[in-house]
Amino acid sequence: MHAVSTETEVLVDQVLEYARQRILSVDTPLDKTYTQQELEQLAGRSVLEQGIGAERALAVFADVLAPACITTDHPNYLAFIPTAPTKAATAFDLVVSASAVYGGSWLEGSGAVYAENEVLSFLAAEFGLPESAGGVFVQGGTLGNLSALVAARENARAQRGNPTTRWAVVCSAEAHSSIASAARVMDVEVIPVDAGESGVLTGDAVRPVLESRGGDVFAVVATAGSTNFGIVDDLASIAALKQEHPFWLHVDGAYGLAGMLSQRARPLFAGVEEADSVIVDPHKWLFAPFDACALIYRDPEAGRRAHTQHAEYLDTLTEATEWSPSDYAVHLTRRARGLPLWFSLATHGAAAYRDAVTTSLQLAQRIAAEIESREGFRLVRKPQLSVVVYERDGWTKEHYAAWSARLLEEQRAFVTPSSHAGRPNTRFALLNPRTTFESLVGILDSMD
């Protein structure tokens, strides 16, 4: 075995010590965004012909670059959809990189693929999918939705050929923006369906579209926890339409489908077991680090037919029968990004995950009741999951923006303005088990 240099040992020790301190920290500040000019002044140039050395590079990151990134696992990071990885998952993310594991094929990474598939089977069972279901961890929900829809279109082509016009995908008008993005990439039409005041897409709303455009429709996308409101579509009534019309049902559960781990929310997802594909992002409500989306097919062979790449140098993989994750999405080279979740689940057990998800659901209901009780505040919609959207009477977009900036400047919270139906509002996205009711009340008090 070749010995590494003393310089390399020092470098590794410094980096690991920084990582250790950061992982174990329980009071990491929220931090904030810097301007380009500020970063140029503080960080200067670091990519030079001769380098600046590990010690200085690490200092630039620790003292300048990291504080210029908002800490997404802070308990008062309440904007967008936060992340809250367990310490176990974050620590093991280092191991994945250090192990030089390639997660694209069984031939090169059978141990990693086995562990990832164990997690995918666990999730598939939670969602009521058959034991034969399977898939792959991809970068995020956008790539997961795109990959699922590509498989759906290829499946439709194989069964009924191409339509006389354009292929189309049906979804709620409140579906995630990635559906429209996938449609642009695929050059297919999006048919948005009004979900009404409740925001819940139903089978009754989808049926007329299928009756008039059914020959063009290759997929219907139902949302299991919308990003803006946490709304779950009526999956059962949409799935029932499959008895009358030939379409692929894809469930976009990037944020919300993890709610099924709690008995408190499980009834909301009735019908997901009829899906042809689903996605859920562990870096959201399953306490894994960025970036990981679990894409699961009812029939994995449909995904493999759509996505396997063919080349002479790949013959040894494509002619094999073993499970190669690269065959199931729009990618080839891939990191074994499901391993941090595997390690955390194996370490803590599924029960701990169920408790953490339930905690978020309970907190959402409690703070929603607090908002309703306050004069001058209004819930935009009652929360189904853990997103609470509300308005402050008389506030304009500028009021919300100034308040949001003040909260971040004071390092109290990261809560951003939002809107619905042309009206400004704001929202709490509650995924972090360390977020407290008292801190949320304090944020409400700051709006007086």
pLDDT tens column, 402-425: 999 999 999 999 999 999 989 999
Q: Tell me the average pLDDT across 126-133.
A: 98
> What confidence tier does 274 reach under pLDDT thresholds 50, 70, 90?
very high
If one looks up domain 93-347 in CATH, what number appears? 3.40.640.10
Model-level pTM?
0.95
Spatial contact of 447 and 412, defined as CB atoms under 8 Å apart: no
Tokens of 366: 């409690």
Q: Where in the chain is the domain with CATH 3.90.1150.10?
A: 350-445
Tokens of 386: 């853990």
Tokens of 364: 């959402």
Q: Tell me the average pLDDT across 102-106.
A: 94
Q: Tell me the average pLDDT across 186-210.
A: 96
Do the strands 387-392 and 189-193 form a parallel or antiparallel pair, or are they unpaired?
unpaired
**Other beta carbons within 10 Å of 402:** 13
Q: Tell me the average pLDDT across 384-408.
A: 97
Classify residue 283 by burial, with Cβ atoms within 10 Å: 0-12, 13-18, 19+.
buried
Tokens of 124: 């598939």
Instruction: For 339-381, write each residue's pLDDT tens digit.
Output: 999 999 999 999 999 999 999 999 999 999 999 999 999 999 9
Report the distance separating Cα 21 and Cα 24, nearest Å.
Answer: 5
What's the pLDDT score for residue 313?
Answer: 67
Instruction: For 320-330, write each residue's pLDDT tens digit.
Output: 778 899 999 99
User: Higher model confidence: residue 26 or residue 245?
Assistant: 245
- For residue 169, pLDDT beyond 80: yes
Instruction: For 214-238, write each residue's pLDDT tens digit.
Output: 899 999 999 999 988 999 999 999 9
> What confidence tier does 177 reach under pLDDT thresholds 50, 70, 90?
very high
DSSP bridge pairs for 414: 77
What's the pLDDT score for residue 309?
Answer: 87
What's the pLDDT score for residue 85?
Answer: 96
What's the pLDDT score for residue 340?
Answer: 98
What's the pLDDT score for residue 310?
Answer: 79
Q: Tell me the average pLDDT across 250-279.
A: 98
Contacts of 146 (CB under 8 A, 6+ apart): 178, 181, 182, 185, 186, 330
DSSP 192: E
- For residue 179, pLDDT beyond 70: yes
Q: Where in the chain is the domain with CATH 3.40.640.10?
A: 93-347
Q: Tell me the average pLDDT across 416-436.
A: 95
Report the distance separating Cα 16 and Cα 58, nearest Å.
Answer: 11
Residue 79: what residue type?
Answer: A
Share of the chain above pLDDT 70, in %: 99
Contacts of 71 (CB under 8 A, 6+ apart): 28, 29, 30, 31, 77
Q: Which of 405, 430, 425, 446 is nearest to 70 (CA)?
A: 405
What's the pLDDT score for residue 39?
Answer: 96
Contacts of 442 (CB under 8 A, 6+ apart): 412
- For residue 157, pLDDT beyond 80: yes
**Residue whose pair of structure tokens reads 């380098």 in the numeric block:** 51
- For residue 1, pLDDT beyond 60: no
Q: Tell me the average pLDDT across 100-125.
A: 96
What's the pLDDT score for residue 448?
Answer: 87
SS3 201: coil
What's the pLDDT score for residue 320?
Answer: 76
Average pLDDT, rounded, for the chain:
95
Contacts of 426 (CB under 8 A, 6+ apart): 389, 390, 391, 392, 400, 404, 415, 416, 417, 418
List Cα–Cα distances, 99 to 52, 109, 335, in angstroms. 27, 11, 11
- For residue 36, pLDDT beyond 80: yes
Share of the chain above pLDDT 90, in %: 91
* Residues 350-445, CATH architecture: Alpha-Beta Complex (3.90)
